[in-house]
């Protein structure tokens, strides 16, 4: 804004400074959990982290870049597959996992070259086809033996307690890094580009926003995130079954979490993941009615609450915890948050 003295542009508000501090404390606290808590808690938190990663990544794709991918399971599965390959060829267990995810992200680059030229539903199903193709190709590998799958044997070198803790820290670390990456992204010029693209792609392009580059960055980030989630999942389950790892239910979960939490917000996916985790934990074994219920929830939120829970809260109360937007202060009156 032009140098008017009665207008100030701020990034940090009181609420967000407090939040920032709280977040730091929470992260430190979480890091210490394996030293004190029981196996069950550690395991469940690890699962929660995986959900958060997935939700945040799908939100980045759909909520920020406008890309509705029904094929993210491609990376969830391929990361795990590459991890096993690295491991089989002698790389130590945990580095294999990370390398597997990196390889998955590397694969995303050429894939993005074609896929990102598709729009709307064509991109959606196109990604699903990519996931199916990768699934089928992985099945051909003798190591995997079709749908029978295989295991990451190298993980068995660690004791159960060690594995639990390492998996936990891997998951926590990934979550913090990825959420941090999204946070930084949103505050960067790329973040503004992405908002513009989401609101009106053609207008953004005409203003010189490098639409394709922005989308590609997010696409590759999301691929990496989903692949990391996949390798963490592998490390907790040890077995790799193509049908499970490449299953479309992962996308279904991602969609639900992001949608319920709040598409296009930073805090939304975290909220969505927590809710989903609780629901899944309590009701997950109740079978098809539960799954049908998830589907119905997706429909209801898509039609009636498209901003998701956090989006509604944000909209109604003007709360913005993490400082990813700008606030205009006019005189002494704080207006509604500008931008996202």
Partner 1 sequence: MNIINLLTQGVLLGGYYALVACGLSLMFGVMRIINLAHGDFAVLGAFLAWTVSDAADISPFLALVAVLPIMAVFGWLVQRGMLERSLRAGMLVPLLSTFGLAIVVENLLFEAYGADTRSLAPMIGDLSFGSWAITDQFNIGYLAALIFALAVLLLGGLSLFLKHTPLGRAIRATAEDADTAELVGINSRAVYGIAAGISVATVALAGTLLAMRATFDPYSGPMQLIFAFESVVIGGIGSLWGTLLGGIILGMAQSIGAQFDPRWFLLTGHLVFLAILAARLLAGQVGARGGLRTSLGIDA
CB 165 within 8 A of CB 34: yes
Q: Which of residues 7-66 bind partner 1 (CB under 8 A)?
A: 62, 66
Among 296, 330, 334, 339, binds partner 1 (CB under 8 A): 296
129 contacts partner 1 (rule: CB under 8 A) = yes
Question: Under the criterion CB under 8 A, does residue 119 sit at the interface with partner 1?
Answer: yes
Q: Binders of partner 1 among 177-216, rule CB under 8 A? A: none
Would you count residue 248 as binding partner 1 (CB under 8 A)?
yes
Within 10 A of 102 (CB to CB), how many other CB atoms are there?
18
Binding mask 65-104 for partner 1 (x = CB under 8 A): -x-x-x----------------------------------
Tokens at 69, concatenated: 């991918």
**Cβ contacts of 40 within 8 Å, gap of 6 or more:** none
**Contact between 97 and 231 (Cβ < 8 Å):** yes
Candidate residues 65, 74, 84, 130; the one interacting with partner 1 per rule CB under 8 A: 130
Smallest distance, Å, CB 271 to partner 1? 17
Q: Which stretch binds partner 1 (CB under 8 A): 14-22, 215-223, 267-275, 287-295?
A: 287-295
Q: What is the DSSP letter of 153?
A: G
294 binds partner 1 (CB under 8 A): yes
Q: Where are the beta strands (DSSP E) in the chain?
A: 7-10, 150-151, 239-240, 327-330, 333-334
Reported as type and span, the H/E element at residue 250 is: helix 249-261
Question: In the bound complex, what is the minimum distance in angstroms from residue 235's beta carbon to partner 1?
Answer: 28
Write out the two tokens for 275. Answer: 């809710």
CA 218 vs CA 16, 64, 97, 111, 191: distances in Å: 25, 8, 22, 13, 10
State the nearest-atom distance from the C-beta of 133 to partner 1, in Å.
Answer: 4
**Quick count: other Cβ atoms within 10 Å of Cβ 38?**
9
CB nearer to partner 1: give 128 or 233: 128
Q: Does 148 bind partner 1 (CB under 8 A)?
A: no
Torsion of CA 177, 179, 181, 185, to 10 degrees: -170
Beta bridge partners of residue 10, listed in sequence order: 327
Q: To the nearest whole angstrom, how small is the minimum distance from the Cβ of residue 115 to partner 1?
A: 9
CB of 11 to partner 1, least distance (A): 28
Checking DSSP bridges between strand 239-240 and strand 150-151, what pairing results, if any? Answer: antiparallel
Q: Should residue 292 be labelled a site residue for partner 1 when binding is judged by CB under 8 A?
A: yes
Among 37, 88, 106, 298, binds partner 1 (CB under 8 A): 298
Q: Does 227 bind partner 1 (CB under 8 A)?
A: no
Among 21, 92, 109, 114, binds partner 1 (CB under 8 A): 114
Residues in contact with partner 1 by the rule CB under 8 A: 62, 66, 68, 70, 114, 117-122, 124-126, 128-130, 132-133, 136-137, 139-140, 146, 248, 252, 255, 259, 263, 288-289, 291-292, 294-299, 301-303, 306
């Amino acid at each position: 804004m032009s140098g008017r003295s009665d207008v100030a542009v701020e990034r940090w508000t009181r609420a967000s400074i407090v939040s920032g501090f709280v977040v730091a404390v929470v992260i430190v606290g979480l890091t210490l959990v394996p030293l004190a808590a029981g196996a069950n808690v550690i395991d469940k938190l690890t699962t929660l982290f995986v959900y958060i990663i997935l939700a945040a990544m799908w939100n980045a794709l759909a909520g920020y870049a406008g890309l509705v991918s029904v094929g993210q399971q491609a990376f969830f599965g391929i990361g795990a597959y590459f991890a096993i390959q690295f491991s089989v060829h002698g790389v130590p267990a945990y580095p294999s996992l990370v390398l597997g995810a990196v390889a998955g992200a590397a694969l995303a680059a050429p894939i993005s070259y074609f896929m990102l030229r598709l729009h709307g539903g064509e991109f959606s199903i196109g990604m699903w086809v990519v996931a199916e193709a990768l699934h089928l190709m992985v099945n051909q590998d003798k190591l995997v033996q079709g749908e029978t799958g295989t295991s990451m044997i190298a993980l068995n070198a660690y004791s159960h307690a060690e594995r639990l803790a390492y998996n936990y820290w891997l998951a926590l670390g990934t979550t913090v890094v990825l959420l941090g990456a999204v946070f930084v992204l949103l505050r960067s010029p790329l973040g503004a580009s992405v908002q513009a693209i989401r609101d009106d792609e053609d207008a953004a392009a005409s203003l010189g926003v490098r639409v394709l580059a922005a989308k590609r960055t997010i696409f590759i980030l999301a691929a990496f995130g989903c692949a990391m989630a996949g390798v963490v999942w592998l490390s907790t389950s040890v077995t790799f079954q193509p049908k499970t790892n490449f299953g479309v239910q992962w996308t279904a979960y991602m969609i639900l979490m992001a949608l319920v939490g709040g598409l296009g917000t930073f805090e939304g996916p975290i909220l969505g993941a927590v809710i989903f985790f609780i629901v899944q934990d309590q009701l997950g074994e109740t079978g098809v009615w539960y799954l049908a219920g998830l589907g119905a929830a997706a429909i209801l939120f898509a039609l009636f609450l498209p901003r998701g829970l956090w989006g509604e809260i944000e909209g109604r109360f003007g709360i913005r915890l993490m400082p990813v937007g700008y606030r205009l202060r006019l005189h002494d009156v704080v207006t509604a948050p500008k931008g996202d």
